[in-house]
Amino acid sequence: MCFVDWMVVALFIVVSIGIGLYFTKRASQSEDDFFLAGRSLGWFVAGTSIVATTFSSDTPLWVAGQTRRFGISGNWIWWSGAVGSIGAVYLFARYWRRSGVVTEVEFVKFRYGVSTSSNLLRMFKAISDGVVINGIIMASVTLAMAKVCKTVLVLSDKPLFTLPLIGGVTPMGAILIVLTIFVLFYSAMSGLYGVVYTDLFQFIMAMVGTVALAVIMYVDASKMPGGMMAALQRAPEFKSSLLQIIPDLSAWNVNAMLFMVYLGFLWIMALPTGGFYVQRLLSTKNEREATKAFLWYNFAHFVLRSWPWIIVGVLAVIYFPNLKNPEDSYALAIKQFMPPGLKGLMVAAFLAAFMSTMSTQLNWGTSYVVHDLYEAFINPNASKKNIILISRICMVGFTILAAIIATKLKTLISAYTFLMQFWAGMGLILVLRWYWWRITAGAEFICLLFIVIMILLLNLPSGLGKNAPLLAQGFYDWCQNSLLGLHNISKEDAEWVRWSVRVFIFTFAPPLVWIPYAFIRSEKPNEHAIEFYKKIRISSWGWRKVEEITGEPAPKGEFKMNLLGWLVTTGALYGILMGTGALIFHQWTFGAACLAVGLVCSLLTWKIMTSGFFASIEESLAQSDETTSPQTQ
Nearest-angstrom CA–CA distance, 509 and 205: 43
- For 167, the 3-state DSSP assignment is strand
Give the closest residue to 347 by CA, choosing from 328, 356, 334: 334
**First vs last C-alpha separation in the chain:** 69
Nearest-angstrom CA–CA distance, 88 and 573: 14
Within 536-623, strands assigned E span none
Asked if 80 and 266 count as a contact pair (C-beta separation under 8 A), the reply is: yes
Asked if 140 and 415 count as a contact pair (C-beta separation under 8 A), the reply is: yes
Query: What count of Cα atoms within 13 Å lies in the side-chain half-sphere of residue 623?
Result: 6
Instruction: Give the phi and the psi of residue 157 in degrees, each rounded to 5.
Output: -90, 0
Q: How many residues does the chain have?
A: 633
pLDDT given at position 187: 80
Low-confidence ranges of the chain (pLDDT < 50): 412, 463-464, 470, 629-633
- For 480, the 3-state DSSP assignment is helix
pLDDT given at position 473: 65
Buried b (16+ CB within 10 A) or exposed e, 574-613: bbbbbbbbbbbbebeebbeebbebbeebbebbeebbeeee
- For 524, the 3-state DSSP assignment is coil
CA distances (Å), origin 385, targets 21, 30, 124, 374, 390: 18, 8, 26, 14, 9
Instruction: Give the phi and the psi of residue 162 in degrees, each rounded to 5.
Output: -120, 140
Nearest-angstrom CA–CA distance, 580 and 578: 5
Nearest-angstrom CA–CA distance, 192 and 186: 10
Give the closest residue to 218 by CA, choosing from 102, 384, 337: 337
Asked if 122 and 372 count as a contact pair (C-beta separation under 8 A), the reply is: yes
Give the closest residue to 568 by CA, choosing from 541, 600, 538, 612: 600
Give the closest residue to 385 by CA, choosing from 402, 370, 363: 370
3-state secondary structure 193-228: HHHHHHHHHHHHHHHHHHHHHHHHHHHHHHCCCCCH
Asked if 117 and 300 count as a contact pair (C-beta separation under 8 A), the reply is: no
pLDDT given at position 143: 75
pLDDT given at position 463: 45
Helices in 223-253 by DSSP H: which ranges?
A: 228-234
Buried b (16+ CB within 10 A) or exposed e, 253-283: ebbbbbbbbbeebbbbbbbbbbbbbbbbbbb
3-state secondary structure 182-194: HHHHHHHHHHHHH
